[in-house]
Amino acid sequence: MAVKLRLMRMGKKKQPTYRVVAADSRSPRNGRFIEIIGTYEPRQDPSVIKIDNERAVHWLQHGAQPTERVEKLLKISGAWTEATGETVDAAVPTAAPKKSKKQLEKEAEAAEAAAAPAEEAPAEDAADADPADAGESNEDS
């Protein structure tokens, strides 16, 4: 029997959570499985990955083939290194904190406000430098 480590979709519509399962490769995605190895919640910030490394290593040593996504999750949890002995880059990508639209707008306004005084300062200096020109224009009126 060909065993795969793969994700099984759970949760509500538009709010997925996944179970990492060991399943027969011929069974459907959300069908029969052999064992639940862990969970993956991608909608949390940052994503939550809970994997039983001992069981994952067991299945990998017995020939289970992980899908691409599960392989990445196993590398993050450390089970992949235990099973294969491969060294994984220490620079595992971590999600930067997401900013709301309001925060982005505030930052944009702050940047504009910082740039605006710098632009106005030379104009004021030019007005101060030519008071005679300003006086001449008033005399004509």
Tell me the C-alpha distance between 141 and 136, whole Å. 9
- Residue in this structure with the two tokens 């499985």, named with its chain if needed: 33
Domain count, the chain: 2
Rounded CA gap, 46 and 95, in Å? 6
In a domain, 96, yes or no: no
Statement to judge: residues 16 and 60 lie in one domain: yes
Cβ atoms within 10 Å of 30's Cβ, excluding its own: 13
CATH code of the domain in which 16 resides = 3.30.1320.10
Residues 69, 9, single domain; the answer is yes
**Does 90 map to a domain?**
no
Neighbours of 8 (CB within 10 A): 18
Distance CA 46, CA 98 (A): 9
Q: Which residues pair with 99 in a beta bridge?
A: none
Both 131 and 64 in one domain: the answer is no
Domain, as residue range, for 132: 101-140
Question: What is the chain's pLDDT, residue by residue, as a tens digit (141 residues)?
Answer: 788 999 999 999 999 999 999 998 888 878 888 899 999 999 988 889 999 989 999 998 888 899 999 999 999 988 888 877 777 665 455 555 566 777 778 888 888 888 776 555 555 555 555 555 555 555 555
Looking at the structure, tell me whether residues 77 and 45 fall in a common domain: yes
Q: Is residue 18 located within the same domain as residue 65? A: yes
Instruction: With respect to residue 131, please indicate whether it lies within any of the assigned structural domains.
Output: yes
Q: Examine residue 94 and state whether it is found in any structural domain, yes or no.
A: no
C-alpha span between 6 and 21 (Å, rounded): 6
* Residue 89 located in a structural domain: no
Could you give the CA distance from residue 108 to residue 115 in angstroms, rounded to a whole number?
11
Considering the domain architecture, whether residues 73 and 26 belong to the same structural domain is answered as: yes
Give the strand pairing for 3-12 and 65-66. parallel
CA neighbor of 94 nearest in space, from 53, 38, 45, 50: 45
Same domain, 47 and 111: no
Q: 3-state DSSP call for residue 16? A: strand
Q: Does residue 92 belong to any structural domain of this protein? A: no
Quick one: pLDDT at residue 13?
Answer: 93
Q: DSSP for 58-86?
A: HHHHTTPEEPHHHHHHHHHHTHHHHHH--
**Residue 93 is assigned to a structural domain of this protein:** no
Asked, for residue 10, whether it belongs to a domain, the answer is yes
